[in-house]
Amino acid sequence: MSNEISHRKRPKGSEEKRSAILDAAVTVFSRKGFANARIEDIARQAGIGKGTVYLYFPDKESLFKSLVASAVEPILEHADRFLSEEDTSPRETMTTVYDMIDTHILQSEKRHIIRLMITEMSYFPDIAAYYHTNIVSRGLDLLRKLLIRADARGELRSQHALKVPQMVFAPVVMSVIWNALFARFESIDTHAAFQFYLDSLFQSADGA
């Protein structure tokens, strides 16, 4: 909706402008990567002047970090709520989580931000630290609990899953990376990946 190539008309309100810059940044960072993105391109894409970017973000790195934050924070709230639900079956919970991820990340412009996190975060150790502490490790804790609950109910197919809860994210990561590198040549069936994972993680309580 807002990531055409055309230069949009000047946004007015201050918060709107901040958000226009972030939108433009996703586009440009996605296309070029952090190092090759020019602030001037982001400004033009946002329909504002180059100097204006610096009224909203102190420097290029902060802009990138804000971008990541703007994408990740809303996700966390949802996740928190759903993963803690204990009155639904683990498979149902996980199905819901995957649906949410599919809808709110993979199908939205946010998938670009997730890709940028994956490809650029190793060069921003402080971002990595921040998100590990605040998001990843908390997410893994919730997942571990979910898997343990599934195991207790006899629904966990492989004990190995308990040792690598990170793999639950594999369909997301693989989908994002595959599309970044090879979408031009060959698509990846993300839904099948989710289904495959649900089948891999869970079985009905009778072991079938």
Partner DNA sequence: CATGAATGAGGTTTCATTCAT
Partner DNA sequence: GATGAATGAAACCTCATTCAT
Q: Find the binding residues for DNA in span 25-64 (CB under 7 A).
A: 36-40, 43, 48-52, 54-56, 58-61
Considering only residues 7, 10, 32, 50, which one is a binding residue for its own copies as defined by CB under 8 A? 32
As beta bridge partners, residue 103 has none
Closest alpha carbon to 17 in 42, 54, 46:
46
Sequence letter at residue 167: M
Residue among 6 and 159 whose Cβ is closer to its own copies: 159
Contact 70, 26 (CB under 8 A): no
Per CB under 8 A, 199 contacts its own copies? yes
Distance separating alpha carbons of residues 121 and 69, to the nearest angstrom: 12
Q: Measuring CA to CA, how many Å separate 108 from each of 1, 103, 104, 157, 179?
A: 10, 7, 6, 32, 13
Per CB under 7 A, 67 contacts DNA? no
Residue among 75 and 188 whose Cβ is closer to its own copies: 188
CB atoms within 10 A of CB 81: 9
Contact 53, 23 (CB under 8 A): no
| Residues in contact with DNA, shown as a per-residue x/- string from 70 to 109 under the rule CB under 7 A | ----------------------------------------
Considering only residues 118, 138, 149, 151, which one is a binding residue for its own copies as defined by CB under 8 A? 118
Q: What is the DSSP letter of 185?
A: T
Contact 42, 21 (CB under 8 A): yes
Per CB under 7 A, 207 contacts DNA? no
* Contacting positions for DNA (CB under 7 A): 9-11, 13-14, 17, 36-40, 43, 48-52, 54-56, 58-61
Q: Which residues bind its own copies (CB under 8 A)?
A: 32-36, 115, 118-123, 125, 128-129, 132-133, 136-137, 140, 157-158, 160-161, 163-164, 166-167, 169-171, 173-174, 177-178, 180-182, 184-186, 188-190, 192-193, 195-197, 199-200
